[in-house]
Amino acid sequence: MHTEFNQGRRESRARTLLKAYGKDKEALFVGAVEYPSHKFYVAAVINTDRKCVIACSIRSDNSKIAEEVAIAQAIISPKCRYVISDSQSAIRNYALGRISPKAANILLHKGNLISSE
């Protein structure tokens, strides 16, 4: 969904997801936001206590790659059972096995990352 044009739908979907997973300690929420420089994104993983578990900066001009990286960060988190993302394209890429090299690198080298959990 487009961030500006579908605000009502996004808020409704977020409320539904929070109702279903908001108290589940094994659920992690992911997202990515572009820096003002337009050359970097921050990919973040938030737990149900609304605390940042993992975050990193990504050099990219594609938000889908940053969303895939956020999902990869959640997947490698030791206490993660559910990954909640609003990026349909990133989720679709995982389902098809076609994720970006940046996201794949995180999954392949998970022992080299530091998280707050």
Find the CATH number of the domain harbouring 71.
3.30.420.10
Is residue 1 a part of any domain in this protein?
no
The pLDDT assigned to 101 comes to 95
Number of domains in the chain: 1
In this structure, which amino acid lies at residue 10? R
Is residue 116 a part of any domain in this protein?
no
The pLDDT assigned to 66 comes to 96
Is residue 2 a part of any domain in this protein?
no
- List % helix, strand, coil for the chain (3-state, nearest 5): 40, 25, 35
pLDDT in 10s for each residue of the chain, 117 residues: 455 667 888 788 878 888 888 888 999 999 999 998 778 999 999 999 999 999 999 999 899 999 999 999 999 998 899 999 989 999 999 999 999 999 999 999 875 555 555
The pLDDT assigned to 117 comes to 54
Give CB contacts under 8 A, 24+ apart, made by 73-78: 73/30, 73/43, 73/45, 73/106, 73/113, 73/115, 74/28, 74/30, 74/45, 75/107, 76/106, 76/107, 76/110, 76/113, 76/115, 77/28, 77/45, 77/53, 77/115, 77/117, 78/115, 78/117
Is residue 117 a part of any domain in this protein?
no
Cβ(56)–Cβ(43) under 8 Å? yes
Which residues span the domain enclosing 84? 7-111
